[in-house]
Amino acid sequence: MAMTRATLLRLLILLAALFFMLGSLLFVLGAVERLVDLWERSLALSPVLAAGLALLLGLFVAATLWLIWWIMRPPRRRPREETVSAASLDARLARARDSGLDTGAVDAELEELARRREAAELHIALYGQVSMGKSSLVAALLPEARVQTDVRAGTTRALQRYLWEGPRGDRITLTDAPGLNDPAADAQLAREEALRAQIVIYLCDGDLTRDQWQALRDLAAQDKPLIVAINKIDRLESDDLARIRERLEQGLAGRPRLQVVAVNTGGQEEMIRERPDGQEERVLRPRAADVAELIEAIETQLLAGSDKLDGLRDTAILHLASGKLDATLDAQRLEKAEALVAVYTRRAVLGALAAVSPGSDLVIQGALATQFVRELCKLYDAVPRELEIEKLLRSANRRVRRNSAVVLAIAGNGLKAFPGAGTVTGGLMHAVAYGLLFDTLGRAMVHNLRTRGQLRTEPTADVFESLLDEDLLPRARRMASLVLKRQGRR
């Protein structure tokens, strides 16, 4: 595998850093020697002069330490993304509908928001992995609640909804979402329901795994009222419970709407009992529930007032709807981008077949490739300069030259997959190779534009080269089929 430009650049930077550190060490040793000599001379001349020199050295050291801190200081926390307003989302939806985009998922989200506003209900979502005791918590909180089952379109799992009239007369809907790590469940369904709720209870039963931490941080980043409930506390020592609390509070520091509580959701526990005949047997017995601290935390969150909670809910749902619109738009762009890649790949193949002589070197055709880059950038609302397009094509062609022998060999193998093709000539191989290059360049550009939103020449060229290292034979066979159909040989 050829060394990429990025890898070579990192090696050069590493060597330069090593030489710089060695030179710096020699410089420091020489400077220390000169300072010691200067200090001895100043002491011999005048104590006042020595004190002035010491002051200057102190100021220099302080300035150096400040500079090091300024360079190495942690980056500032990024501000929360701009709030999505109903007006801005409506404007985007109107443009999307005008372009023929299917906005059904976004419309359904906004309709659900309107329904919840009209019903004036308070929604609390239970969130967490399977086997954390969510069902037992529901039974402990709402022992006489009526149960509703809400199966959302496109899912095979149900959201269990429990209706409860709170102590202050609040109409509360408690939603038990599917477990995040349940292979048969839709984790996205649970996350979306958590975003729709005014309050979220995240249930765990001890130290969090990496996946649990990530899910919790993602949820906390939405700035929603969040209660982390540590379950099964009867199995934990007091020191362990205090340590888990501390880790959670430190790991989610800076979240004003976060509370950490300890609960015991009840349910059943297994125990070993000795029978009169001396034999042991395993039996289940009820475990006493203790959710007082959780109820107190819910009441504390409710003190913020329904207007405040509803506002936070509305903001989260508008972000959720905006994200769905982004995903739908991305899917539409990706479909159009793949169609563009197919069109220009075909043009590259036909152009190579029409050439009088294929030449000995593979070079991505300039005029066709330039138009190809422009079309893809236009699709993603990117406006590249002509110099950027030229730079990308030059960089891509350098990588083509390093891999041309391999690409031609794969093109030849692709043609050999068709026994009736006859003799594989250089012109046919070049046509297949050009098709591979345009297809690969298109894939690299789509990847770059989707992730970065603009044309970045070197990252795109690096992805282009990495894609050339993949298994190209299946695509080469498709290009060969196109070439042979054009030639009337298949």
Q: In what order do the strands lie in the sheet with 146-150?
A: 146-150, 159-165, 171-176, 122-127, 199-204, 226-230, 258-262
Residue in this structure with the two tokens 């009820």, named with its chain if needed: 286
Residue 75 above 50 pLDDT? no
Average pLDDT over residues 259-284: 73
255 contact partners, CB below 8 Å, separation of at least 6: 220, 223, 226
186 vs 237, more confident: 237
* Per-range mean pLDDT, top range of 18-32, 43-57, 204-218, 376-390: 376-390
Report the SS3 class of residue 212.
Answer: helix
* Per-range mean pLDDT, top range of 187-196, 350-359, 397-406: 187-196
Pick the CATH number of 100-270+281-304 from 3.30.499.10, 3.30.70.580, 1.20.1730.10, 3.40.50.300: 3.40.50.300
Report the SS3 class of residue 356.
Answer: coil
Q: By mean pLDDT, which of 13-22, 101-110, 209-218, 329-338 is the weakest?
A: 13-22
Give pLDDT, residue 262.
84
- The reported pTM is 0.66
Q: What is the pLDDT of residues 420-464, one digit of tens each?
A: 554 545 567 777 788 888 888 999 999 999 988 888 888 998 998
Burial of 199 (0-12, 13-18, 19+ CB in 10 A): buried
Q: What is the pLDDT of residues 413-428, one digit of tens each?
A: 666 666 655 454 556 7
Domain positions in the chain are 24-71, 100-270+281-304, 330-487
Assign 78 a pLDDT band (cuts: 50, 70, 90). very low
Residue 5 above 80 pLDDT? no
